[in-house]
Structures are given as structure tokens and as C-alpha cells.
Amino acid sequence: MRKAQIQSQLFIYILTIIVIGVLLLFGIKWIGKILQTDEVVQQTAFVKDIEGAFNSIRSDYGSQRLEEFSAPGSVDRTCFVDSQTTATNAYGLCNPEHSDYDPIMCNAWRDKTSSVLFSPPFDSSVDLGKIVVEGHKYLCFDNTKNKLIRLKLTGLGDKVKVSEQ
């Protein structure tokens, strides 16, 4: 083998490694974008399912329906909060001594940005209109192990009563 052939093969190997590296880099970025898009689609579908269920039963006074929602993969916790109660009056979510305490959810409740709170929070708020939650005025689900949220919805004319199934 001549010296010139060895140098040209070395150039081809280096060029091959650079091309493969660039392809891997762009491939990883592309896969990351696909995963982000999938998460946004799951969140949007989740919110639309919840809104649809609440809107369909709201005006049907006295009717009850058991609903089951599947939380997106990134959601660790979901809370439904009473629209009639302020966060300062509620026990738990806004009380640092309580096991349910969550400062992010408490702030979102205080700001009245949403009637459904998520941890980590979604980019958009979810407004279900007037909802009634008995007890502590909020109902939370831990979604770290079980992604299913089972609710019993009761239509009250202009609002919906939410309870755990």
C-alpha cells in the first residue's frame, strides 16, 4: 500500500465518523421533539376529555355519571378545586403543616387560573366553570403510580359536583 492510499483512507474514516456523529446528533434532537409533541397532544386530549365530561353533565340536574380519565405521563398529581371557595379558606393544599400542601397548586388556586390543577403545571389553564367539591374543597389524585382518575360527577344545573368514585 502506498503512502497516499493510507492518507486517503484515513481521510475517508474521519469523514465517515463526522457524518455519523452529525446524523446521530440530529436524530436525537428529532426524537426529543417528537416526544415533546406527544406530551402536548396527551395533555390536550386529557383536558378536552375532562371539559367534555363536565360540560355534558352540567345542565342535567340530578344525573350522576362515573367517569374515568387517563392522566398524561408527565402529570404527578391532579387536583379538582371548588370554584366557590378561595384557597385561603381551604384546608390542606395551602396549609404548610398539612401533608397535601403544594405551594404551586395553592398559588394557582389563589390566582383563580384553573379549576383543575396539575403538578407539574400545564402551560394552559383548565376552566370547568362552577364545580363543587365537598369536604376540604379540593380532591387530589396521585398520578405517579396510577394514571387513572376515577370521578363521580353529579349535574346540579349550573354547576357540577365532583366526588371520588
Specify the range with the lowest mean pLDDT, choosing from 4-8, 94-98, 109-113.
4-8
Q: What is the mean pLDDT of residues 16-33?
A: 89
Q: Give the CA radius of gyration of the chain.
A: 25
- What are the phi and psi torsion angles at 152 (to 5°)? -110, 115
| pLDDT at 86 exceeding the cut of 70 | no
Higher pLDDT, 155 or 94: 155
Query: What is the helix, strand, coil percentage profile of the chain, to 5?
Result: 40, 20, 35
Contacts of 111 (CB under 8 A, 6+ apart): none
- Confidence grade of residue 18 (pLDDT, cut at 50, 70, 90): very high
On whether the pTM is more than 0.85, the answer is no
Residue 89 pLDDT: 58
- What are the phi and psi torsion angles at 133 (to 5°)? -125, 120
Q: How far apart are CA 81 and CA 143, in angstroms?
A: 17
